[in-house]
């Protein structure tokens, strides 16, 4: 199955580099390019991508608002992979709340983008450890606000709450399995059940839920 990718970045040089890299892969193809968010929203509908590689700071409409509009679609929206740099950390949390499924640091080798696209296309969320640490730091630096009450958290078993807390720390399925002394398939089953019970799209949303509900604490 070929992964259809939409590349969104206001820098033409980067768009060309990303597109060339992606098109060189046997299992991927670039179905569109956009230089700003509004164009990305249009192409996300007309080009039917599986994954949108989205920059954050762009003219007309930024990547956060574009992500929000793309993921709000009812009919199977594509997954959004955010391109971020260390000086854009303040945008990571808002991107997750907007529905982003993962993040790729621009400072990393371009080849890591390919891995990230495959991970997100497969339905997993991609939170690099460095991004997760900064996300937790974001929560820690914010004034304490009343937790957002979620009745669906009561649907979770004690084991599933434990798993959710580990997800909030950025653990992968393999790391979950090691921490819980279970097999990787069992860890995946726990994650799948939590996603279903909380109506979340992926692990990125679970991290937001865990902290906003007060279940996870930054300390």
Question: Residues near 26 by Cβ (< 8 Å), separated by ≥ 6?
Answer: none
In degrees and rounded to multiples of 5, residue 126 shows phi and psi of: -120, 110
Question: Residues near 167 by Cβ (< 8 Å), separated by ≥ 6?
Answer: 176, 191, 194, 203, 206, 207, 210
Instruction: Give the CATH architecture of domain 151-212.
Output: Orthogonal Bundle (1.10)
Please indicate, yes or no, whether the overall pTM of this predicted structure exceeds 0.85: no
pLDDT of residue 189: 92
In degrees and rounded to multiples of 5, residue 153 shows phi and psi of: -65, -25
* CA atoms of 142 and 212, how far apart (whole Å): 11
pLDDT of residue 112: 83
- Tell me if domain 3-138 and domain 151-212 are identical in fold: no
- Domain spans in the chain, listed from the N-terminal domain onward: 3-138, 151-212
Are 104 and 118 within 8 A, CB to CB? no
Looking at residue 87, the DSSP 8-state letter turns out to be G
- Mean pLDDT of each 10-residue bin along the chain, 219 residues long: 94 92 95 95 94 90 92 82 70 79 80 86 66 62 67 91 88 88 92 89 80 76
DSSP-based three-state secondary structure for 202 = coil
DSSP for 153-175, written as a single string: GGGS-HHHHHHHHHHHTT--HHH
Q: What's the fold here for domain 3-138?
A: Rossmann fold (3.40.50)
E strand segments, 35-76: 51-54
E strand segments, 42-113: 51-54, 79-84, 102-105
């Amino acid at each position: 199955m070929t992964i259809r990718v939409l590349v969104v970045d206001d820098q033409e040089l980067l768009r060309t580099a990303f597109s060339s890299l992606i098109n060189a892969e046997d299992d991927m193809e670039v179905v569109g390019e956009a230089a700003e968010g509004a164009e990305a929203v249009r192409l996300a509908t007309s080009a039917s991508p599986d994954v949108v590689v989205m920059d954050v700071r762009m003219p007309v409409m930024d990547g956060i608002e574009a992500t929000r509009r793309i993921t709000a679609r009812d009919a199977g929206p594509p997954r959004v992979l955010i391109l971020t740099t260390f000086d854009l950390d303040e945008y990571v949390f808002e991107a997750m709340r907007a529905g982003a499924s993962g993040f790729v640091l621009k400072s990393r080798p371009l080849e890591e983008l390919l891995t990230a696209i495959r991970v997100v296309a497969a339905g997993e969320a991609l939170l690099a450890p460095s991004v997760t640490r900064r996300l937790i730091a974001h929560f820690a630096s914010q004034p304490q606000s009343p937790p957002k009450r979620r009745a669906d958290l009561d649907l979770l078993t004690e084991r599933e709450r434990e798993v959710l807390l580990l997800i909030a720390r950025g653990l992968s399925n393999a790391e979950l399995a090691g921490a819980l002394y279970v097999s990787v398939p069992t860890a995946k089953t726990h994650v799948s059940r939590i996603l279903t019970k909380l109506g979340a799209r992926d692990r990125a949303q679970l991290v937001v839920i865990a902290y906003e509900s007060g279940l996870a604490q930054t300390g």
